[in-house]
Amino acid sequence: MSDVLRLIIKLFRPLPILGGMITFALGAGIARYLGNTIDWNYYFLGQTWVILLQVSMHTLGDYFAPLADNVNPGRTPFSERSDALGPGKLPRNLALWIGIACLAVVGYLSVLLLQLVGMAPVLYLILSLIFVGALVYSVPPLRLASSGYGELLMSILIANLIPLLAYQLQADEWHRLIPMATFPLMLLHLGMMVAFEFPEYAPDTKYEKSTLLVRMGWQRGMLAHNILVLGGFVLLGIAWAYGMPLKIALPGLLVLPVGALQVWMMTRIEDGAKPNWTLFTVVAAASFGLTAYILAYSVWTR
């Protein structure tokens, strides 16, 4: 693989895109589980819309990121910045033009999608919320990615709104299974976002980058991380108690040992153990990713 292609792949951020694909599949799978016939034209059109919007969000986010973000010895594969731009790498303007091109295609696909679906005010609202949220996250003047509020916004986009979009493309009626499946994922995703910020806490503090972890502080961030991760599985258990079928909830709860490992590793770090940030961030990604995948698998195979 050439260096240019490798850098472009890094710029596109395939791991977050994969997360969006899984949660999109979850939303459509819930519609199928509830008896709706999947319209694959809507599915692939909606999924392409989401992927291109994510690519534009990532590339524009890198383009508008402060130069201080380049100084980050703690960067991991899950960092907010791709580290694909700069001297000896890809030119910064390339990220800008890729982002603009993707937004142009997203605009075209939005018109096409709405023409195919017809009058659907709820779908208009969901598309608008996702589109505006992606821009607000990555583009000035708000650029919430470095404000301490972007983590919550990103978790809502990935874990709540994207599966809701996929569901709405396939079903006409609202169902409580959507929030039952997605709100636990939102907590797990937010816990994952906080986990990803720990390796970068020192440079983020030094260069006054206002991430959620920097705003909370190291110690409160550890407590919040543990509450979010365990809270995600507790919320999944509550969803089962209030009507989520056991054959959907139980497979998701099987990931609890991974979440417990994530919390245990954080507790060890809090007690003074030397952190293995690479392993810790991989476990954090697995807690969210496996839960989302297993939930999606469960609704597609039942």
Alpha carbon distance 125, 122 (integer Å): 5
d(CA 33, CA 297): 11
The CA distances from residue 175 to 30, 159, 217, 295, in Å, are 9, 16, 38, 16
Task: Give yes or no for a contact between 195 and 225, defined as CB atoms under 8 angstroms apart.
Answer: yes
C-alpha span between 286 and 294 (Å, rounded): 11
261 burial class (0-12, 13-18, 19+ CB within 10 angstroms)?
middle
Domain with 160, as residue range(s), is 3-301
How far the first Cα of the chain sits from its last, in Å, is 40
The whole-number pLDDT of residue 126 equals 96
Domain count, the chain: 1
Considering just the CA atoms, what is the radius of gyration of the chain in Å? 19
The C-alpha atoms of residue 216 and residue 186 are separated, in whole angstroms, by 19
Those residues with Cβ within 8 angstroms of residue 185's Cβ, 6 or more apart along the chain or in another chain? 23, 26, 159, 160, 232, 288, 291, 292, 295
User: What CA–CA distance (Å, rounded) separates 237 from 239?
Assistant: 5
pLDDT of residue 76: 62
Handedness of CA 177, 187, 19, 91 (dihedral sign): positive
Q: Which two tokens stand for residue 62?
A: 């890198």
CA neighbor of 301 nearest in space, from 104, 33, 79: 33
* Range list of H helices, the chain: 3-12, 14-33, 40-63, 92-117, 121-138, 150-156, 162-170, 177-197, 201-206, 212-216, 218-241, 246-253, 256-270, 277-301
CATH of the domain at 251: 1.10.600
pLDDT of 71: 55
Nearest one of 77, 73, 66 to 10, comparing CA atoms: 77
CA count, 13 A, side-chain hemisphere, 164: 24
What does the pLDDT profile of the chain (302 residues) look like in tens digits? 578 888 898 899 999 999 999 999 999 999 999 999 999 999 999 999 999 999 999 999 999 887 656 556 556 666 667 778 878 888 989 999 999 999 999 999 999 998 888 878 899 999 999 999 999 999 998 889 888 899 999 999 999 999 999 999 999 888 999 999 999 999 999 999 999 999 988 888 877 778 899 999 999 999 999 999 999 999 999 999 999 999 999 999 999 999 999 999 999 999 999 999 999 999 999 999 999 999 999 999 98
pLDDT at residue 68 in the model: 55
Under a CB-based contact definition with an 8 Å cutoff, are residues 253 and 146 in contact?
no
**Residue 200: closest CA among 82, 285, 79, 282:** 79
Q: How many CB atoms lie within 10 A of CB 255?
A: 23
